[in-house]
């Protein structure tokens, strides 16, 4: 290939590469126009190159002309393609009106059981109770024996349990957490233990095999049943309003003596009787009592020196009363229409 043709080709290649690098960083139509003029304008790179054609021989001219023409077309093509890109980018850019309201991110909701648990923690924190937690898989010792519920104790049936091994089970209440606290800590003790519990209960509107409980324990010198009544009364009023009353009736639990079940005056009818409280005026909340001396013995606490009270309640129960929910399954079916109300 004749020398001049190779030089020409190299020149054209060099121009094209230079053009490509220049156009790559162009982002505005006006700059694109400047580039176009620089290359294709009257005083443009190509135009000046074209002027040299006159100097060539007749058989050289068409080759040179074609090469230049191809370059010109390429440049034109690339310029129109670039304009399209710039416009489309501009369109999106222009479309992006930052003053416009952003798309509201869908913020999740705290689950109603979490809300109630937090409220309960805050109330008892105010009463000097520290929140403690413990393992959901427990040994029979911590879930039963340490709580004065030996193997043959009828109360065990109530707690029909999910056994993992012959000795380990899913805890049926959070009482083992308090036992672990008593092992580690000497009185005074003021703790509440909220958490998940598991019982082999058939699911219905008020029972679920997985449910949440909060239990409380206070141990010190001369703790009385009066202290228990006082604490639960303050809790009731702070949770459901100062008009709420509390009622204790005798009951039995292996780990408390004396024991009682306690109820709050109905939040709906204020005690006059309605469908919610089955016309009793009272809503049963849970059980409580003075820590059974047997439990103190198991924990090597001097039952003569120390006394304590304990109580328990179902968190789903409290949430159903507070939020007027009539079916416990609502908490576990993850229906967004239900959950987003909270």
Q: Classify the C-alpha dihedral 319-325-328-332 as positive or negative.
A: negative
Please list every residue from 166 through 225 that binds ligand 2U9, using CB under 6 A.
173, 175, 178-179, 182, 213, 215, 217
Which region among 8-16, 159-167, 284-292, 319-327 touches ligand 2U9 (by CB under 6 A)?
A: 284-292
- CB closer to ligand 2U9, 35 vs 178: 178
Which region among 73-81, 130-138, 224-232, 287-295 touches ligand 2U9 (by CB under 6 A)?
A: 287-295
- CB closer to ligand 2U9, 22 vs 220: 220
The whole-angstrom separation of Cα 244 and Cα 234 is 9
Chain-centroid distance of CA 292 in Å reads 39
Rule CB under 6 A: is residue 143 a binding residue for ligand 2U9? no
The whole-angstrom separation of Cα 174 and Cα 176 is 5
* Total of chain residues touching ligand 2U9, rule CB under 6 A: 22
Q: Is 310 helix (H, G, I), strand (E, B) or coil?
A: strand
Single residue of 287, 319, 320, 328 touching ligand 2U9 by CB under 6 A: 287
Single residue of 195, 271, 281, 314 touching ligand 2U9 by CB under 6 A: 314
- CB closer to ligand 2U9, 271 vs 289: 289
DSSP E strands: which ranges in 125-233? 130-131, 137-139, 168-170, 189-198, 210-221
Please list every residue from 247 through 276 that binds ligand 2U9, using CB under 6 A.
253, 255-256
Residues 6+ apart with CB under 8 A from 208: 201, 316, 328, 329, 331, 332
- CB closer to ligand 2U9, 178 vs 208: 178
Q: 226: which 2 tokens?
A: 């009066």
Rule CB under 6 A: is residue 286 a binding residue for ligand 2U9? yes
Task: Compute the half-sphere exposure of residue 128: CA atoms within 13 Å on the CB side of its CA.
Answer: 8
The whole-angstrom separation of Cα 314 and Cα 291 is 19
Single residue of 19, 124, 198, 311 touching ligand 2U9 by CB under 6 A: 311
Burial 49-61 (b: 16+ CB within 10 A, else e): beeeeeeeeeeee
- CB closer to ligand 2U9, 64 vs 296: 296
Q: 101: which 2 tokens?
A: 């309201």
Single residue of 231, 313, 319, 320 touching ligand 2U9 by CB under 6 A: 313
Rule CB under 6 A: is residue 46 a binding residue for ligand 2U9? no
Minimum distance between the CB of residue 269 and ligand 2U9, rounded to whole angstroms?
23
Distances (CA, A) of 314 to 129, 213, 214, 278, 328: 18, 4, 7, 19, 11
Residues of the shown chain interacting with ligand 2U9 in the complex, contacts defined by CB under 6 A = 173, 175, 178-179, 182, 213, 215, 217, 253, 255-256, 286-289, 291, 295, 310-314
């Amino acid at each position: 290939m004749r020398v001049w043709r190779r030089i020409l080709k190299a020149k054209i290649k060099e121009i094209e590469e230079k053009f490509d690098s220049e156009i790559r960083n162009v982002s505005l139509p006006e700059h694109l126009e400047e580039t176009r003029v620089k290359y294709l304008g009257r005083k443009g790179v190509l135009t000046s190159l074209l002027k040299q054609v006159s100097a060539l021989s007749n058989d050289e001219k068409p080759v040179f002309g074609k090469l230049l023409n191809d370059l010109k077309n390429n440049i034109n093509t690339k310029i129109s393609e670039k304009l399209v890109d710039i416009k489309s980018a501009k369109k999106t850019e222009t479309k992006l009106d930052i003053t416009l309201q952003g798309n509201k991110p869908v913020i999740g909701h705290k689950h109603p059981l979490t809300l109630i648990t937090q409220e309960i923690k805050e109330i008892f924190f105010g009463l000097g109770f520290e929140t403690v937690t413990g393992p959901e898989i427990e040994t029979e010792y911590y879930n039963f024996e340490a709580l004065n519920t030996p193997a043959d104790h009828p109360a065990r049936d109530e707690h029909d349990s999910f056994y993992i091994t012959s000795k380990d089970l899913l805890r049926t209440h959070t009482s083992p957490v308090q036992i672990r606290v008593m092992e580690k800590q000497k009185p005074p003790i003021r703790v509440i233990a909220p958490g998940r519990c598991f019982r082999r209960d058939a699911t219905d509107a008020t029972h679920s095999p997985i449910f949440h409980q909060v239990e409380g324990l206070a141990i010190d010198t001369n703790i009385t049943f009066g202290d228990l009544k006082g604490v639960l009364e303050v809790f009731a009023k702070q949770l459901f309003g100062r008009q709420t009353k509390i009622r204790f009736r005798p009951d039995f639990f292996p780990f408390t003596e004396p024991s009682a079940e306690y109820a709050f005056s109905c939040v709906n009818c204020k005690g006059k009787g309605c469908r919610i409280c089955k016309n009793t005026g009272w809503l049963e909340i849970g059980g409580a009592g003075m820590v059974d001396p047997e439990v103190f013995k198991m924990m090597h606490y001097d039952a003569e020196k120390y006394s304590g009270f304990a109580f328990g309640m179902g968190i789903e129960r409290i949430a159903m009363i507070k939020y007027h929910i009539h079916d416990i399954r609502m908490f576990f079916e993850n229906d967004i229409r239900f959950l987003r109300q909270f």
